[in-house]
């Protein structure tokens, strides 16, 4: 008796984009921005705290281009936050029977205070897989093998089943996000002609501020 083994395993890695900083730090301190002035104070009352600066700052205010926004001046700059978490970093289809749809999913959660929101995407992929879906539906129609990814959630980028390729945008939101969840549903169907072997992929997901 021939043992059929089509083990589809996928591992995922989170990647956050590199950010260029001009910060000062030591073992005990981290100063992410500074102001060179000759005075300033912290004034308090029952209701308010006021931090002020007295000096000769120049070129203050917002400056924008297509790619950048600079908030220059005392306390104009603040560190933004952008986080991505997965409820699992692996999905596994096991050993599917022929012509039977199998799915495995995980949830990606994004938080950011970015005014322009975020985009979650596949940044790179490696390994082996079944043949990628090309008709928008992983259903094995025509007794062919198919493999792809569906996404659901309030900010999912598409509604059908797509081939998993570098650059595939999974979700985006153009406002600050609080616990934005995107469910990634990996789908596969093997056929009776599928080469019997182990298939596995490493997929790197990246979230970046828009
Ligand atoms: Ca199909």
CA of 192 to the centre of ligand 1 (A): 15
Do 67 and 87 have their domain in common?
Answer: no
1 in any annotated domain: no
**Helix, strand or coil for residue 34?**
coil
Answer whether residue 13 shows pLDDT above 50: yes
Count of beta carbons in the 10 Å neighbourhood of residue 13: 13
Query: Are residues 65 and 125 both part of a single domain?
Result: no
pLDDT at 4 over 50: no
- Structure token pair of residue 101: 């749809």
* The residue to which tokens 């938080």 are assigned: 111
The boundaries of the domain holding residue 66 are: 33-72
If asked whether residues 48 and 125 sit together in one domain, one would say no
What is the tally of structural domains in the chain?
Answer: 2
2 inside domain: no
- Summarised one tens digit per residue, pLDDT across range 28-63 is 777 766 666 677 777 788 888 777 777 656 667 777
Q: What is the Cα–Cα distance from 115 to 118, expressed in whole angstroms?
A: 9
What lies within 8 Å, CB to CB, of 109 at 6+ separation is: 84, 85, 86, 87, 179, 180, 181
| d(CA 207, ligand 1 centre) in Å | 29
| 27 located within any domain | no
**Ligand 1 mean position to 135 CA, how many Å?**
5
What's the confidence (pLDDT) of residue 109? 95
133 close to 95: Cβ distance less than 8 angstroms: no
Q: Write down the pLDDT at residue 153.
A: 97
Stretch 86-106: mean pLDDT: 92
Q: Report the range out of 10-24, 64-78, 148-162 with the highest average pLDDT.
A: 148-162
Residue 15's pLDDT band (cuts 50, 70, 90): low
Q: How far is the CA of 142 from the centre of ligand 1 (A)?
A: 8
Shared domain for 200 and 100, answered yes or no, is: yes
Distance 146 CA to ligand 1 centre (A): 7
Number of helices (H), then strands (E), belonging to the chain: the values are: 0, 15
CA angle 206, 208, 210 (to 5 degrees): 145
């Amino acid at each position: 008796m021939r043992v059929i083994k089509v083990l589809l395993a996928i591992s995922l890695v989170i990647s956050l984009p590199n950010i260029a900083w001009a910060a000062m730090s030591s073992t005990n301190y981290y100063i992410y921005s500074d102001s060179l002035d000759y005075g300033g104070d912290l004034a308090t009352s029952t209701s308010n705290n006021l931090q002020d600066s007295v000096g000769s700052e120049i070129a203050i205010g917002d400056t924008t281009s297509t790619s950048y926004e600079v908030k220059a001046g005392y306390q104009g700059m603040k560190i933004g936050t952008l986080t991505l978490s997965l409820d699992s970093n692996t999905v596994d289809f096991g050993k599917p029977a022929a012509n039977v749809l199998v799915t495995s999913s995980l949830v990606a959660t994004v938080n950011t205070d970015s005014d322009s929101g975020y985009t979650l995407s596949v940044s790179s992929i490696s390994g082996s897989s079944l043949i990628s879906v090309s008709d928008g539906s992983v259903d094995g129609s025509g007794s062919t093998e198919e493999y792809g990814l569906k996404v659901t959630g309030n900010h999912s980028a598409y509604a059908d089943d797509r081939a998993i390729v570098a650059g595939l945008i999974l979700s985006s939101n153009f406002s600050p996000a609080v616990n934005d969840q995107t469910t990634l549903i990996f789908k596969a169907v093997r056929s009776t002609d599928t080469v019997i072997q182990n298939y596995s992929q490493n997929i790197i997901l990246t979230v970046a501020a828009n």
